[in-house]
Amino acid sequence: MTAASANAPTEAAWYAPLQPAGCAHCGLVHLVPPERLGQRCPACSGALLTAQPAPVRPEPPELALPFRLTPAQAGAALDGWARGVWLRPAELSGPVLQQRLQPMYVPMWLVDAEVVGAWFTQAGYAYQVASTNENFKSGQWVTQHVHETRTRWEPRAGQVQRAYANVAAPALEDHARLLQRLGQFPLAAAQPYAPSAIQAAAVRVPSLTPEAAWPFARARLDEQVAADLQAAAGAQQLDQMRLTVSYQGQHWTQLLLPVYATAYQDEAGAWHAVHLNAHTGQISGLRRASQRLGWQWTAAIAAVAVVLFILAAALTALGVLLPPIVALGGLLMVLSFVVGLVAPLPAVWAWQFNRPAA
Amino acid sequence: MTLSHPNTALDPWQPPAGYVPVESKLAGVSVFAPAPVVETGPDSHLFQCPRCGASTAYDPGAAGVTCGSCGTQQYFQAEVVGRAAEGTEFTVEVLDREARGWGRERRELHCDACGADLSLAPNDLSATCAFCGSTRVVARAATQDGLRPRFLIPFKIELDACARLAHEWLGRGWMHPAGLAAAAGSAQFKGLYLPFWTFGARVVADWRAEVGYEHSRQVYDSDTKSWRTVTEIKWRWEDGRVTLPIADHLELGTTKVSATLLGRVAAFDLNALAAYDPAFLAGWQAQAYDRPLAAAWENARAYMREAARQACQGQIASAHVRNLSVAADFDAEVWRYILAPVYVAPYWFGGRLFQLMINGQTGAVVGQKPVAWLKVWLAVAALLAPGTLLSLLGLPLLLAAGFGGLLLVLGGSLFLAGLMLSAYLVSQAMQAGAA
CB of B27 closer than 8 Å to CB of A163: no
Would you state the pLDDT for residue A90?
A: 92
What is the pairing mode between strands A202-204 and A283-285? unpaired
- The stretch A222-241 carries a mean pLDDT of 96
**pLDDT higher at B54 or B295:** B295
Q: Which residues pair with B228 in a beta bridge?
A: B219
B159-163, B208-212, B239-243: which range is least confident on average?
Answer: B159-163
φ/ψ of B296, rounded to 5, equals -65, -40
pLDDT tens digits for A308-323? 999 999 999 988 888 8
User: Is B199 within 8 Å of chain A by CB?
Assistant: no
Would you state the pLDDT for residue B41?
A: 56
Separation of alpha carbons B123 and B138, rounded Å: 11
- The stretch B125-141 carries a mean pLDDT of 57
Separation of alpha carbons A208 and A186, rounded Å: 22
CB of B363 closer than 8 Å to CB of B161: yes
- Cβ contact (<8 Å) for A158 and B301? no
- Cβ contact (<8 Å) for B13 and A134? no
Would you state the pLDDT for residue A94?
A: 93
Would you state the pLDDT for residue A10?
A: 42
> Measured between beta carbons, which residues in chain B are less than 8 angstroms from residue A233?
24-25, 31
Nearest to A228 among B29, B89, B331 (CB): B29
Residue of B nearest to A254 (CA): B1
Would you state the pLDDT for residue B102?
A: 47
3-state SS, residue B156: coil
Interface subset of A 128-157, CB within 8 angstroms of B: 128-137, 141, 143, 147, 150, 154-157
pLDDT at B86 over 80: yes
Mean pLDDT value across chain B:
83
Amino acid B28 reads: G
> Measured between beta carbons, which residues in chain B are less than 8 angstroms from residue A232?
24-26, 29, 31
A15-29, A172-186, A333-347, B400-414: which range is least confident on average?
Answer: B400-414
A15-24, A148-157, B71-80: which range is least confident on average?
Answer: B71-80
The complex's ipTM works out to: 0.76
User: Is B326 within 8 Å of chain A by CB?
Assistant: yes
Its sign, for the CA torsion B290, B292, B298, B304, is positive
Least Cα distance to B159 among B66, B259, B73, B77 occurs for: B66
- The stretch B308-319 carries a mean pLDDT of 94
Nearest to B301 among A132, A135, A246 (CB): A132
CB of B33 closer than 8 Å to CB of A176: no
Separation of alpha carbons B333 and B342, rounded Å: 27
Percent of chain A at pLDDT > 90 equals: 81
Q: What global pTM score does this model have?
A: 0.69
> Measured between beta carbons, which residues in chain B are less than 8 angstroms from residue A252?
1-3
DSSP state of B123: T
pLDDT at A206 over 90: yes
pLDDT at A111 over 70: yes
- The stretch A204-216 carries a mean pLDDT of 93
| Other residues' Cβ atoms within 10 Å of the Cβ of residue B69 | 13
In Å, how far from its chain's centre is CA A140?
60
- Cβ contact (<8 Å) for A233 and B31? yes
Residue A335: exposed, middle, or buried by beta-carbon count in 10 A (0-12, 13-18, 19+)?
A: middle
* Pairs of residues, one from chain A and one from chain B, whose beta carbons lie less than 8 Å apart: 136
Name the band, by pLDDT with cuts 50, 70 and 90, for residue B434: low
Amino acid B238 reads: E
pLDDT at A258 over 50: yes
pLDDT tens digits for B346-380? 888 888 888 889 999 999 998 888 888 888 899 99
Would you state the pLDDT for residue B50?
A: 80
Nearest to B329 among A133, A141, A160 (CB): A133
What is the pairing mode between strands B320-349 and B151-152? parallel
Would you state the pLDDT for residue B276?
A: 87
Name the band, by pLDDT with cuts 50, 70 and 90, for residue B44: low
Name the band, by pLDDT with cuts 50, 70 and 90, for residue A124: very high
